[in-house]
Amino acid sequence: MAYDLNRRTALRGMLGGAAVTVGVPLLDCFLDVNGKAMAATGNAMPIRFGTWFWGLGVNPTRWFPTKPGRNYDLPPELAPIAPLQNKISVFGNFNVPLDGAPNLPHVSGGAAVRTGRALTAERGLPGESFDVTIGDRIGSRSRFASLDLSATGDPRNSLSGRGGGNLNPSEISAANLYSRIFGTGFKDPNSASFTPDPQVIARRSVLSGVTEQRQSLERAVGAGDKAKLDQYFTSLRQLENQLDAELTKPEPLQACMVPRKVPGLPVNAEIENVMMSHELMTDLLVMALACDQTRVFNMMFNNGASSLTRIGSTITHHQLTHEEVLDPKLGYQPEATYFLTKIMEAWLYFVTALDKVKEGDGTLLDNTLVFAHSETAFAKFHTIDCMPMMMAGTAGGKIKSGLYVDGAGSPVSRVGLTMMQAMGVPMDRWGAKSMETNKTIGEIMA
């Protein structure tokens, strides 16, 4: 491996000594900055990020909790997540103000959640979607920049892209997905040889250069400013640690093993089929993550204007949301709601699959942040002023899970900003016009 160990240890020794003189408070910072995962070994577990999309929203009065904070209430349509409630956060009352743009049914909402911007006449996305921004930060060196999946068989079903007309197309067949990940080109992370990133080597050399001057500086500064310099260099040392971690061959990934080939499935939008191919894709994705083949993913369960149907029936989920009249006694559309129940079951399967994989002192889910959302609140009227959203996992301890957060009508872009910051994207404000915000969601920041 391309590194001179003796030199590094020597350097460590010297600084280790110096660091002690800095005093206790700083030591805490070591842990806070890098989160739980890194605190364990000097060497970070990979942190992953992904999205899970479903179309046509919810029946808001039957889905959104009412009690903010932990142990939130579970209305009937949210009930399926009960088994993992403590690892799933729910977000309500986050608005999509569209000033300057029309509410394009089934399009504007999802695009706004992903980009913090309102879609105009162009198709595609009004800006870069945050999963791509996060990918640039955490996914650049893994084999796949990201894995984009669609369980309904529509490759164009995607909300991920750099903006403008182009969208990252989705993989629609579990069989293809298998060969893409585990077919030719698959490198077993536990056997593959390791070559560090030249850019990181270069940055590392800058820092070590800077650090070497520490002693001459400390000799030269007065007590008042010495404390400041001490801390400055302690902090610098932290950065070095992170780079060292990136330059060192990673710990073996115990959970990683190559799964069995998967059967080919008919690719269509019949809910029973979609559930199955969603499960197959999920299992493959989970292994791709455990084997660190990718650190970013997008799973589209169904599409915005959902073409889901039931076997033997041809009327689509989307048609139902519009044609089926609200049942005045129930206050919702029973037929359309059937699909929502299936969607929530699928979501639970997805999160559970991630949580089953042990990793470090926790699970794969703990080292991941999954963001689930829809494109409308109440599909019948295309309302987008209360987007249904969830988060699962803690991104290695950077995010608190198991909460209900009431956005009090503030812009949905706060959610994207919070996640990007948690994933280490240097960004202090995000979104455009009424959706521009610098307010993260403090409740969930660890």
Partner 1 sequence: MLVIKPGNSGTPWETDVNGTRLAVGLAILGFAQAVSAQPADLPIAPARTDQFPNGFKVIRAKDGQVYATKDGHTLYGMDMRTLIAFGPDPALYCRDECTKVWEPMLAPPGSKPNIAFPRGFGSPPPPAGQAPRPAAAPAASNSDLNPDGLYNTQRAPDWTLIQGASGPQWVYKSWHLVFTRKGDKPGSTAHDGADNLTWNTLKFVPPVPKLTAPQSVAAAYRDGAYILTHKDGRALFTGICRKDCTDWSPLTAPAAGRGLGEWTVSRSGDTPQWLYRGKPVYVGAALDTPAPIPANGKVLRP
Partner 2 sequence: MISQRMPKLLAAGAIALGAGSMGAAPQPFTPQAIGDAPARSLPAPPADGVMGFVVSDFVQPIVEGKDACPDGPVPKLREAYIASLPAAERERLTRKENEAELLRAWQMTAFGKNGTNICSQPEMFDRPTFRTVQSKVAWGLDLDEGNATDTCAHDTFTTPNGQTGIDNQEYRALGCKLEWRTKDGVGGDNQIGMKQFHNSGEWTQVILLRGVDSLENDPSVEVVYANTPDRPMIDAKGNYLPGITYSISTKPPRERNVLKGRIVGGVLMTDPGDIKLTQTWGQGGARDIRGNRARWDYRKARLRLEFQPDGSLKGMMAGYRPVADPIISPALGGAGSALVAGIDCAGELATLRKYADGLKDPKTGKCNGISATQRISAVPAYINDINQRRASR
Partner 3 sequence: MRRPKTLLALSLAASAFAFGVWTVSADAGAPQKPTPLATAPLTAANGQIVAMRRLSESQYRSAITDIFGPDITVAGRFEPVVRPVGELIASGSSDAAISPAGLEQFDAMARVIAAQTFNEAHRSQFSDCTPADASAADVACASRILAPLGRYLFRRPLTTEEQAFYVKLAGSGAGPTKSFYKGIELALAAMLTSPNFLYIIETAEPDPANPGELRLDNYSRATRLAMTLWNTTPNDMLLDAAAAGSLTDQAKLESIANRMTQSPRMEAGVRAFFADMLKFEKFDEMAKDPVIYPYFNQDVLKALPEQMLRTISDHLLTRNGDYRDLFTTRRTFMTRALGGIYQVRVPVSDGWVPYEFSPADDRAGLLGQAGFLALYSHSGRSSPTLRGRAIRELMMCQPVPNPPGNVNFTAVQDTENKAMPTARIRLSAHNSDPVCAACHKITDPPGLSLEKFDGIGKYRAAENGAQIDINGALGSAKFSGGAGLGQAMNASGATTQCVASRALEYTTGRVVSDEALVQSTEKAFAAKGYGIRSLFFQVMTSPQNWRVPKSAPVGATRVSLNR
The residues binding partner 3 (CB under 8 A) are 2-4, 7, 26, 29-30, 32-33, 195-196, 198-199, 201-206, 208-210, 212-213, 216-217, 219-225, 227-229, 231-232, 234-236, 238-239, 242, 408-411, 421, 424, 426-429, 434
> Measuring CA to CA, which residue among 403, 390, 409 is closest to residue 442?
403
Q: Would you give the distance in Å from CA 431 to the centre of its chain?
A: 18
Q: Quick one: tokens of 209?
A: 């250069």
* Residue 319 CB, nearest approach to partner 1 (Å): 8
Instruction: Choose the stretch contacting partner 2; rule: CB under 8 A; options: 173-181, 232-240, 347-355, 377-385.
Output: 377-385
SS3 content of the chain, % helix, strand, coil (to 5): 45, 15, 45
- State the Cα–Cα distance between residues 307 and 313, nearest whole angstrom: 12
In the DSSP assignment, the letter for residue 259 is: P
Stretch that binds partner 2, among 36-44, 194-202, 213-221, 307-315 (CB under 8 A): 307-315
232 binds, among partner 1, partner 2, partner 3, none (CB under 5 to 8 A by kind): partner 3
Question: Residue 133 has what DSSP assignment?
Answer: H
Where does 68-167 show beta strands of DSSP type E?
69-70, 88-92, 147-150
Q: Which is nearer to partner 1, 75 or 124 (CB)?
A: 124
Q: Which residue has the tokens 């904070």?
A: 69
Q: Which two tokens stand for residue 211?
A: 């650090």
Instruction: Kindly state the tokens that stand for 378.
Output: 């109440």
Least separation in angstroms between CB 31 and partner 2: 36
Selection from partner 3, partner 1, partner 2, none that 195 binds (CB < 5 to 8 A by kind) is partner 3
- Interacting partner of 426 out of partner 1, partner 2, partner 3, none (Cβ under 5 to 8 A depending on kind): partner 3
Who contacts 338 (Cβ-Cβ below 8 Å, separation ≥6)?
310
Our finding on whether 409 is near partner 2 (CB under 8 A) is yes
Residues in region 146-175 near partner 1 by CB under 8 A: 152-154, 156-158, 161, 165-167
Give the CA dihedral 93, 94, 97, 102, nearest 10 degrees.
-90
The correct pick among 101, 239, 255, 348 for binding partner 2 (CB under 8 A) is: 101
Q: Is residue 293 within 8 Å of 47, Cβ to Cβ? A: no
Q: How far is CA 310 from the centre of its chain?
A: 30
Looking at the Cβ atoms of 219 and 329, the one nearer to partner 3 is: 219
Q: Is 315 in the site for partner 2 (CB under 8 A)?
A: yes
- CA pair distance 336, 29, nearest whole angstrom: 50
Q: Rule CB under 8 A: is residue 112 a binding residue for partner 1?
A: no
Q: Residue with structure tokens 């080919």?
A: 264
- Least separation in angstroms between CB 23 and partner 3: 11
Segment 284-313, which members bind partner 1 (CB under 8 A)? 303-307, 309
Summarize as ranges the residues that interact with partner 2 (CB under 8 A): 59-61, 64, 92-93, 95, 97-103, 120-121, 312-315, 318-319, 322-323, 325-326, 328-329, 331-332, 377-378, 380-381, 383, 385-386, 406, 408-410, 433-434
